[in-house]
Each structure stands twice: as C-alpha cells, then as structure tokens.
Amino acid sequence: MRGLGTIINTATVLAGGGLGLLIGNRIPDRIRVIIVQVIGLVTIAIGLRDVMNTDNMVFPLVGMVLGAIIGELLRIEDRLEQLGEILRRKFTKPESESKFVTGFVTATLLFCVGPLTILGAIEDASGKIPQLYIIKGTLDGFMMIIFSALYGVGAIFSAASVFFIQGSLTLFGTSLDTLLTDRMRLELFSAGGI
C-alpha cells in the first residue's frame, strides 16, 4: 500500500512523543546518551551500506552539493522556525516560548530533512514494503522519547511535519518512481548514504 510508510513513521513519532511525556523525565541521562549513540551508529551503518553501492562517487558528491545549495536558497530552517513560532503562539503559554519552538524545529529538522526521508518516499511510493520508513520510524520514535522529555509538546508537533512532508514526497515519488532506472535508483540511494 502506497503511503503506509508515512503512516507508520508518523505513528511512531506520536507514540514516542506520548511515551516521552509520560516517562521521559524518569529516564536517566546515561540511558538517553546511549539511545542517541545507538541511533547514530545505526544511521552511520545505513549510510555506509548505501554509499558503498555507488558505481561513481561523482554522482553522490554532486547530489549532496546541489541539495545543500537548494536547501539554503529555500531557507528551509528559517521557514521551520517561523512555523514553529506560529504554532507556539497558537498552542502554548508565553513562558514556554523557547522550548516549544526549539522542540518543534529540532525534531522537524531531524525527522524531515535527510536522505531517509527522500529515499523512503521513493520506496513508499513504489508500493513495496516501506523498509526505509520502518527503520526511520523506529529511529524517530526513540529520538522522540528524548525530545518530548526535553522540549515537551513542541517536539510532538513535528509529527504533523513528518506526515505532511513525507506524504507529499511519497505522492511526488509515485510519478518519479516510473522514471527511475535501476542505475538512477542506485546512485540516488548512494547519495543518500552520505
């Protein structure tokens, strides 16, 4: 089913957020650090696996440079901060200002601006088992436990970003999927591994 990965990822972010609000303050700092370290190691392993498959390192290099330039030109981070501020004013009290926006922007950037988001959308759009979004959802769910414990409800609002951004990319990926050859897909996934 197309879009299943987006639904799974959004659900894990919400579940992790709820769990973080309930028990997050009881998780010792050393356990939080271990969780982040494990997530980092798994992310590196996934990236290395993907980048090792490239037939020509120029493609991932050019893709990364162009992606970084486009992201800066579109001012993605600035726009997320503006959206976070709008949501904070609408849903929180003035004294919780800093934590709400920081939580929303930090979680949204981590969960939505990265190679697993884009590559997962292409896989999700293909109608195959959304393995990347299942892996990403697991990683995001564990990180959300920590984020919601630190930042509160602002971090949980990033679930809406996950649903909207990944859902939109999956819809776009449906038309893109038919245009990609196996070689193009390989190099795209290799670029995502960096």
Label each residue of the chain as H, E or C.
Answer: CCCHHHHHHHHHHHHHHHHHHHHHHHCCHHHHHHHHHHHHHHHHHHHHHHHCCCCCCHHHHHHHHHHHHHHHHCCHHHHHHHHHHHHHHHHCCHHHHHHHHHHHHHHHHHHHCCHHHHHHHHHHHCCCCCHHHHHHHHHHHHHHHHHHHHHCHHHHCHHHHHHHHHHHHHHHHHHHHCCCCHHHHHHHHHHHCC
CA proximity to 13, closest of 75, 129, 104? 104
Of these ranges, 10-14, 127-131, 165-169, the one predicted with the greatest mean pLDDT is: 10-14
Interval 102-125: pLDDT, tens: 898 889 988 988 788 888 998 899
| Domain residue limits, the chain | 4-192
pLDDT at 115: 81
pLDDT at 146: 94
Identity of the amino acid at 68? A
Percent of the chain exceeding pLDDT 70 equals 96
Interval 9-65: pLDDT, tens: 999 999 999 999 999 889 999 999 999 999 999 988 988 888 888 888 888 888 888
